[in-house]
Structure 1
Amino acid sequence: MTEVSQIPPADWEAWAQFLGMHRKLMRRLDRRLQADAQISQADYTVLLALFEAPDNRARVGALGERLAWEKSRVSHQVTRMQTRGLVTRLECDTDGRGTWIELTAEGKRTLLGAMRDHARAIRETFFDVVDADELQAIRSASARVLDRLGDD
């Protein structure tokens, strides 16, 4: 018998609904960001991480850890964002091989302009749909799963 058969069909259905909701929600939020702020969800995620980082900058590895992205994905994303003036690369003064990724003034302006509309989109598509008990169940389940996964 395979591992799959040990999961009841109703649980598979719940898993499929969860994945479908996540994909569709992320796609909707990405489209809204594109329309409202002319940035992608990936752009927003990087901008927010840098905005929250000390001195609005981080090394590629640290940014990847924070976002749970591979270094190559971070590097490619940063390159695209750099060409649009949202971030810049700076040499690391303590490590000649390393670079800092820093939020530019344009990146900060873009992020701050996007935040209100993005929060509204999240409220409309998620928080306005789930009630307080459901939100607590999501919060609790997410915490348990994250605890099980630990640090990668």
Structure 2
Amino acid sequence: MPLYDYACVCGERFEVLMPSWRSANPYCPTCGEVTTRRPAAPALKGMTSPPPPMSAAPHSWEGVDRGNRELLTRWRHALDRRQEFESVHPEHAERRDAVAAHEGIFENSPLTYREIATRAETHRDTREAVTEAGRSRLATHDQE
């Protein structure tokens, strides 16, 4: 069975073994929406590999070893290569959301304005939405 890459409008990306290319697209494991098939990752020969995705970049001051110049320079070059790669292969571009908070409990999973807006729809209050996001991060952190 071939392995296919899928993406959802919520940003989730995953691979699935499908019996045939004619098989219906699977539902997103995160939100349950129907997904779209993406082109397979490029097969690069030799010792080359695609640059790391933007989401792999450090999200905080501690993540760059408190401003280590060599580490910052290395990441800057890697992210420049990634932008170049995505301009040539737009199907591999990641959705990037504006980040509202990225330190403390949000270090490993930044709080985005999109998440705040989504949570605020249920609460009708932005402060309550941010508080709920913080509680969910703490709950996740406590489980680890």
TM-score normalised by structure 1 residue count:
0.27
TM-score normalised by structure 2 residue count:
0.28
Q: Higher RCO, 1 or 2 (CA under 8 Å, sep at least 6)?
A: 1
